[in-house]
Amino acid sequence: MKRVINGKIILLGMLLLWVFVVRFLTGCALKQGQEEKVRDLEFTVVGDGEVPQELKDIIVEKQSAPFKLTYSDDQNLYIVTGYGEQPTGGYSISVNQLFLTENSIVFDTELLGPGKEEEAGTEKSYPYIVVQTEFLETPVVFQ
């Protein structure tokens, strides 16, 4: 009887050891997977009047829910982030980073709420941002 109990304890200990080893190895792999910045990308925030019509149509179709998309016209790459329906106006979007890594373009934005002194109104809004950068055939990672 003691052998069966000791065997089960050893098996349980080995199982726990295996779980901890796998967990720590996975954590290391995630940190190594983060790519280093090769260079910052120059970009321009595109106003509504300068957005290509096909892209405008896609934005209008998707604007009620948060979305992220890219669009290219063989000369430029447009990167778009929309934050979906908001209860009022007065929102703005900040571009924190846009840079190139060896395998991707990283695009990091943040939604900023209306200021306390700002008249936000009562109508719903659909904030989004369109940035134009050089044409690259590289996948975009949204953060």
Cα torsion angle, 36, 40, 41, 44, sign? positive
Residues 62 and 102 in one domain: yes
d(CA 59, CA 99): 23
Convert the pLDDT of each residue in 61-95 to its tens digit: 999 999 999 999 989 999 999 999 999 999 999 99
> Which residues are CB-contacts of 106 (< 8 A; sequence separation ≥ 6)?
37, 97, 98, 99, 100, 140, 141, 143
DSSP 8-class letter at 116: T
Residues 7 and 44 in one domain: no
Convert the pLDDT of each residue in 25-75 to its tens digit: 655 444 444 679 999 999 999 999 999 999 999 999 999 999 999 999 989
Number of structural domains found in the chain: 2
Q: Domain residues for 83?
A: 39-142
Residue 118 predicted with pLDDT over 90: no
Residues 68 and 130 in one domain: yes
With contact defined as beta carbons under 8 Å apart, do 129 and 80 qualify?
Answer: yes
Bigger pLDDT: 36 vs 15? 36
Residues 17 and 80 in one domain: no
